[in-house]
Amino acid sequence: MKRVEAKIEENRKEDPLSEPDKIPNTWLIEGKLDQDIIDWEKVRLDFRFSEIDAEVLESSMSEPNRFTVRTNCESPLKKGDIVHLDIREQNQVKSSHRCSFKLSATTQS
């Protein structure tokens, strides 16, 4: 885990029709990290609720130092605000095989 700072660049209302879930009160927060993240395509962003002050629906990185957070309701963050977030490597657990089992019902006479 790595903790970094980011500067908010934009906080705007999202068009609910632009997403499959069509949640009506969603917002997009875009920001820039104070440093590039190696393997940025494979990380998870963890935000502090006390700084975002909105329910995070999803987050993603678009470049080594840029991210977008989708929230349910408006966050009070404004352009230029600084937030702190934790960068975590996503667990990529891959199973080489599947387990399955079958239950059989028995009846007694």
pLDDT in tens, 59-87: 999 999 999 999 999 999 999 999 999 99
Among 67, 73, 107, 72, which Cα is nearest to 87's? 67
CA–CA dist 12, 28 (Å, integer):
5
CA–CA dist 27, 30 (Å, integer):
10
Does the structural domain 2-89 have CATH classification 2.40.30? yes
CA–CA dist 84, 46 (Å, integer):
9
Domain ranges in the chain are 2-89
pLDDT in tens, 17-61: 888 888 999 999 999 999 999 999 999 999 999 999 999 999 999
CA–CA dist 105, 53 (Å, integer):
52
